[in-house]
Amino acid sequence: MTTAETAVTTQVYRVYIRATPQAIWDAITKPEWVAKYGYGGTCEYDFRPGGAYRHFPSDEMRKASAEWGAECPDVIIDGEVIEADPPHKLVQTWRMLMSPDAAAEGFTRLTFEIRETPDAGTKLTVTHELGNAPVLAAMVGGAGADTGAGGGWSWVLSDLKSLLETGATLRG
């Protein structure tokens, strides 16, 4: 008898933001906010357990994909809501559809925890469980940052923080 072990990869990102928990929740879940930072696009949530999550590409994303000779799907990320406790916690599945290799890895688990602190603003913790998803783990870990493919969760969260605190994204 042999036993195969699979390494479970979990990435945890924590950022303190000078904003209310509700403002951070809205920035993560409302399409008009999601379009303003990170990779852009818009999102759609059904917050009931088992409800759908979909993220749609921006026009810029479609244009960039075409320039790279890649097809940009109508839905770039999909998943399902597991738990929603606005404005404190959101747990969902998450599958990247822009990359056929990442899409083939299937669904991962993503958790947003939002906690107000007494003296450091609001703490946002993003935990992305990426077991059996090495391609996606590299992508969301920022492996493409030096080649213009994006900086993953670190960059997205930095852009979110900048937007909420200053009104401007890192790109200006």
Q: Which residue has the tokens 């026009």?
A: 59
Report the chain's terminal Cα–Cα distance, integer Å.
58
**Collapsed DSSP state (helix, strand, coil) of residue 103:** helix
Instruction: Spell out the residues 6+ positions from residue 103 whose beta carbon is closer than 8 angstroms to its own.
Output: 95, 96, 97
Domains of the chain: residue spans and CATH: 10-165 (3.30.530.20)
Instruction: Spell out the residues 6+ positions from residue 107 whose beta carbon is closer than 8 angstroms to its own.
Output: 79, 80, 93, 94, 95
Task: Flag residues of the chain having pLDDT under 50.
Answer: 1-7
Rg (CA), the chain: 16
Q: Which DSSP category does 9 fall into?
A: P
Q: Which DSSP category does 24 fall into?
A: H
pLDDT of residue 147: 57
Residue 9 phi, psi dihedral angles, 5° rounding: -105, 125
pLDDT of residue 146: 60
